[in-house]
A and B are shown apart, each in its own frame.
Chain A
């Protein structure tokens, strides 16, 4: 065991901690593998620096590795040594192939689902009083203008939805309108897909620019009907 035993145990413990323990600590989340790799790399660097601080520990640390590489007095590990010596160049070759080969996949186009709205659309409050009549009127407008794509059940599965990519938003999903303020919806309905900033990939969106067809008051009523119908409430800062 000696000088190599402890570093190996440390690396394995570190890996297990990052992979299985840390994500379970409240408020934490599973770490991406790239981050785990980075942490392990840092741990390994720390071990190497520590082990090579004095001449003695340096020999104890590097000695076994050198003996393994040169193949002197390692007995039964000779086969493993040849395995490593063959595997290493192959791994390097494979990595090089992976990084130079041209991809056969279409370009990936990242898309921010809820990009930031222009400043004038933040913090507006719905000027229409929240009365049963207005909600009902909003639901009527929703049925006429929105439901073909967003669905009569507010689930994004309207009869016209199937060909559109990205798909129409599902308002019953808690990560859509429940996360947003009414003023955000006002912006998205008014300006439509073409009003999105570049990170929202406006060229793909089928959402109409409703400001050219509907008065603002109708849009505010639609928002009210949408929240009520989807059983969600707008996000507020209080």
Chain B
């Protein structure tokens, strides 16, 4: 009876410890429920760098993000064609490639899409790194693709009216349209020589990412409906190139378990001697 009581106490204490840790991790789960991230798995043997329809993509599960019309600053737009984007990513030791996929009923020369990243340690507002009043913000790096250009433009911005192509173009992009769906791949080296303007991708690290899409359709008067700031946008989400597997935690756990076992052994030996 007595040892059972001791056991009971142990169970009670570790039980409440488990409950406590569940509550703590549960809190982060509830916050992270919407925070889906794009995760790039590490692949060996070649990335589908310029093929939006490559077979390699079919084994990658997409992350889906809702889009809104850009209403944050003028010129606004109240309604946009694209409501969601599905994003996949892969990387090898040297390069990263993103596949952006979305429904668009018509293929137009002015169809376009973009990825946006925070650059460096400072937070940047998702609207082109617009200056914040109480927080010093950082720049954003934008990878922009337009159907009729058939290539990517590597751009930087830090606030309204500051968006401009960089002197160093590091990004490639290619789009493929079929059955009412655009698939656009963007690729770049994980790191570049210009960390102050380009996002640097370190495996294992979460990076803020956002998306924008322009449907290049024209209205009855022949004017583009979505252009410039009149586009579909997403909020900030996360991107991460998955870190190579790290087994050190298993080793630490084994060492700790061995120490606990040794402690038990010494304690019981001492108790037996004492009696």
Size class of the contact patch on chain B: 35 or more
Which B-chain residue is minimally distant from A191 (CB atoms)? B133
**Which of these, B8, B24, B125, B264, contacts A88 with CB under 8 Å?**
B264
The 0/1 profile, CB within 8 Å of A marked 1, for residues 22-52 of chain B is 1110011101101101000000000000000
**Knowing A34-B24, A202-B134 touch, does A96 contact B252 (C-beta < 8 A)?**
yes
**Which of these, A40, A194, A204, contacts B133 with CB under 8 Å?**
A194
Question: For residues 163 through 195 of chain A, which have their beta carbon under 8 Å from a beta carbon of chain B?
Answer: 163-165, 191, 193-195
**Which of these, A8, A34, A77, contacts B8 with CB under 8 Å?**
A8
Which A-chain residue is minimally distant from B31 (CB atoms)? A108
A148 to B6, CA, bound (A): 62
Give the interface segment out of A67-75, A121-129, A132-140. Answer: A67-75
A55 CB to nearest B CB, Å: 15
* B9 in contact with A106 (CB, 8 Å): no
Which B-chain residue is minimally distant from A93 (CB atoms)? B257
Q: How many A-B residue pairs have CB under 8 A?
A: 210
The residues of B that contact A198 with a CB separation of less than 8 Å are 134-135
**Which of these, B4, B9, B24, contacts A77 with CB under 8 Å?**
B4
Instruction: Identify the interface centre among B1, B4, B253: most chain A CB within 10 Å of its CB.
Output: B253
A68 to B268, CA, bound (A): 10
The residues of B that contact A163 with a CB separation of less than 8 Å are 65-68, 232-235
The residues of B that contact A207 with a CB separation of less than 8 Å are 72
The residues of A that contact B16 with a CB separation of less than 8 Å are 15, 33, 36-37, 40
* A206 in contact with B24 (CB, 8 Å): no
**Knowing A106-B238, A163-B67, A198-B135 touch, does A213 contact B74 (C-beta < 8 A)?**
yes
A77 to B7, CA, bound (A): 11
A73 CB to nearest B CB, Å: 11
**Which of these, A4, A98, A109, A194, contacts B5 with CB under 8 Å?**
A4
* B235 in contact with A108 (CB, 8 Å): no
* A88 in contact with B135 (CB, 8 Å): no
The 4 closest A-B pairs by CB, nearest first: A163-B68, A93-B257, A68-B3, A64-B2
A-B contact pairs, 9 of them (CB 8 A): A1-B2, A40-B16, A77-B3, A93-B256, A96-B252, A96-B255, A162-B83, A164-B68, A202-B134
